[in-house]
Amino acid sequence: MATMLLLAVGISASAQAPIFSAANRLVVGNYNANLNSSDQVFVVQLEANGTIVVDEGHAVRYFQNKTADNIVGAEWTEAAFDDADWSDGVNGVGYNCSQTTAVPDDDDQGAIFNRFAPFNVGSASKVTTLVFRADYDDAFVVWLNDVEIARSQTLTDADVPEWNDFGENHESTNKPGPDATRWDRPQSNIVGPAENPDNPDGTIMVLDIPVTFSGILPVEPAGKVTTMWADVKRYR
């Protein structure tokens, strides 16, 4: 697939993310335009040195925030967070657009928090850039191994937006998944509202994300592996 060079405009500044040979963690906050928005979704594809490492069908755990049931704070974004009580699904959680895992549309839709199953990267020591592709509605923030790598311009600049923070409207491709043809749609590397002529509704966000090889497995400062193999197996 053709990719586009990352421009300085359109993505918030962030530290370079670490990449590991195994047990990498991708975490996404998918934010709505308002609580009664008609649709919402986030579908992602990650490519490392020509190999797709996260794609449609990838297992996720997710939490759909509601007025009476929501998550406050930043702990859910951390790689070591315990998401055992969250719902199981696959890449593309949402409703009424490009979803693969459908959630209820009941006019009380806050952010959908997604935690992707740990993924491996072959020859990770040779990887310096990940190609990030997203089909989304309406806004998002993405963390890789505890480091923010992408954020919609229309969201708050808080480190971790709250469940009821909102972005401006942006429509997805409206291709319910799995549907690999979504990635053939027009591409943009300007993260912003649909009113931006370089980023109309239905465009695929494509960004080159710089990464640094940081070892075989992520570890805590004390040397404990942050992702247990039992947890990795659980997603298979």
Structure pTM?
0.86
Q: Per the structure block, which two tokens stand in for 121? A: 């990267």
Question: Which residues have C-beta within 8 Å of that of residue 132, sequence separation ≥ 6?
Answer: 44, 45, 46, 142, 149, 150, 205, 206, 207, 208, 209
User: Please, what's the b/e burial string for 87-110 (b: 16 or more CB within 10 A of its CB; e: otherwise)?
Assistant: eebbbbbbbbbbbbbebeeeeebb
217, containing H or E segment: none
CB 161 within 8 A of CB 141: yes
Say how far apart CA 12 and CA 93 lie, in whole Å.
24
- Going through 159-234 in order, the beta strands assigned E by DSSP cover 187-188, 204-213
Q: Which of 1, 5, 35 is nearest to 208 (CA)?
A: 5
Cis peptide preceding 165, ω within 30 of 0: no
Asked if the peptide bond before residue 218 counts as cis, ω within 30 degrees of 0, the response is: no
Strand stretches in the chain, DSSP E: 17-19, 26-31, 40-48, 51-54, 59-64, 87-90, 93-95, 101-102, 112-116, 129-137, 139-144, 147-151, 187-188, 204-213
Residue-level pLDDT at 17: 95
Q: Which residues pair with 135 in a beta bridge?
A: 43
Tell me the sheet residues that pair with 88.
61
Give the C-alpha separation, 80 to 201, whole Å.
Answer: 35
CA 213/CA 225 separation, integer angstroms: 16
Contacts of 138 (CB under 8 A, 6+ apart): 31, 32, 33, 37, 40, 152, 154, 166, 167, 168, 169, 170
3-state secondary structure of 232: helix
- Digitized pLDDT (tens) for each residue of the chain, 236 residues in all: 333 333 323 344 356 899 999 999 999 999 999 999 999 999 999 999 999 999 999 999 999 999 999 999 999 999 999 999 999 999 999 999 999 999 999 889 999 999 999 999 999 999 999 999 999 998 999 999 999 999 887 788 889 999 999 988 888 999 999 999 999 998 888 766 666 666 677 889 999 999 999 999 987 544 444 444 334 444 33
